[in-house]
Amino acid sequence: MEQATFRELIVRNVDAKDAEDAIRQVGQRFLDAGFVKDTYIDAVAAREAVYPTGLQLAEIAVAMPHTDPQHVNRPGVCIAQLAHPVTFAHMGEPEVKVEAEMLFMMAIQNPDEQVELLQKVLSVFQQPEVVAAFRAADSEEKLFEAAQKYIG
């Protein structure tokens, strides 16, 4: 993925009232950049309601919303720093709620890539210095730099 394109998918201070609002706002960035079809946002919101993607990691809670490949034009990851934590249901334990600070919204065409990205995010966000770097990012440029350094 070329850098200029990836940079478009970094967004800070997403002021969302709830998980669905966060998904819709961040999904719009994907749509505007041409990564996904106009069916993507509704499909992600519907999937999140059935298969939640919130994760409580050691130092931070994140969510990794995504949907099926038929809604995707080309693969990418939109990284969003939320203006304030938003409640997501926990992946694997939907009755548990997590207060997500970051969204890693995925446009995936190959299911293997989804597993690889999930494992990568899980491993890097177990490190306190990574969480600190993402939390300290006070501009889209710094958020992009943290993403490049730790996620690639």
pLDDT of residue 5: 58
One-letter identity of residue 16: A
Q: Name the one residue in this structure whose structure tokens are 């970051």.
A: 102
Mean pLDDT over each residue of the chain, to the nearest integer: 89
Closest of 109, 96, 99, 102 to residue 35, by C-alpha: 109
- Token representation of residue 82: 């939320």
φ/ψ (deg, to 5) at 38: -70, -10
- 26, pLDDT greater than 70: yes
> Model pTM?
0.88
29-62 per-position pLDDT tens digit: 999 999 999 999 999 999 999 999 999 988 899 9
Contact (CB, 8 A) for 19 and 88:
yes
